[in-house]
Structure 1
Amino acid sequence: MIKIYHNPRCRKSREGFAILEKSGKEFEVVKYLDEVPSKEELKTLVQYLGIAPIDLVRKTEAIWKEKFKGKTLTDDEVIAAMAENPKLIERPIVVNGKKAVVGRPPENISSLL
């Protein structure tokens, strides 16, 4: 089952959602600001994405700048920061099986379909 970690207030996330709708495939929507992913779920996402946890962080968010910018954090500390502050998670994330992409640009999603 395809899954999208979605923020309806984000234009790129809405564009990614639209790509999935147009695909005609079934998919699950996780509004990750309401249903915050656990640390384990975030670790799995990072693994499926094939990136370092820091690469999933929205570094322009005020929370990041105020609390974390300029600090040297371990991967576990970055994961914890995203679990505690889900606004920091880059979006949208689309998962299909054990592969995932960040939908920035939204066209990245097509590679999973």
Structure 2
Amino acid sequence: MITIYHNPRCSKSRESIAFMEQQGVAYKIIKYLDADLTETDVKKILQKLDYSPIELVRTKDSLWQDTFGDVTLSDEQVIQAMVDYPKLIERPIVVNGPKAVIARPTEKIYEIL
């Protein structure tokens, strides 16, 4: 089953859900802002995306800029920042088994179906 790490306030996240419904594919939603993701959860997502930690961060977000913009962080520190501040995680993340994509644009979901 497909898993969508979803933020209901994000239009791209809502578009990914609509896309899955149009495709008739079963999916489950994880509202990651409320899910209390752990360091292990973030590392698993990173592995499926084949991303470095910083690639999953919304670095243009004011929270990142204000809190970490002038600091050089290790990969572990970046992961911890995402655990502490899940708002920093890029979205939507769509996972299918061992693979995942950031569904921007939504059509990127085809890559893992």
Q: TM-score, normalised by structure 2?
A: 0.96
| Whole-angstrom CA distance in 1 between matches of 2:72 and 2:82 | 15
Structure 1 vs Structure 2 CA RMSD: 0.9
- Aligned-pair CA distance for 1:70: 2.7
**What is the identity, as a one-letter code, of the residue corresponding to 1:32?**
Y
Identity %: 50
**What is the identity, as a one-letter code, of the residue corresponding to 1:58?**
R
Q: Which runs of 5+ in 1 are unaligned?
A: none
| Whole-angstrom CA distance in 2 between matches of 1:46 and 1:70 | 24
Q: Which runs of 5+ in 2 are unaligned?
A: none
Aligned to 1:48: 48
- Aligned-pair CA distance for 1:20: 1.1
Q: Deviations over 1:26-65 (max 9, x none)?
A: 1110001111311101001001000101000001212101
Q: Which runs of 4+ in 1 moved over 4 A?
A: none
Q: TM-score, normalised by structure 1?
A: 0.96
| Whole-angstrom CA distance in 1 between matches of 2:69 and 2:21 | 37
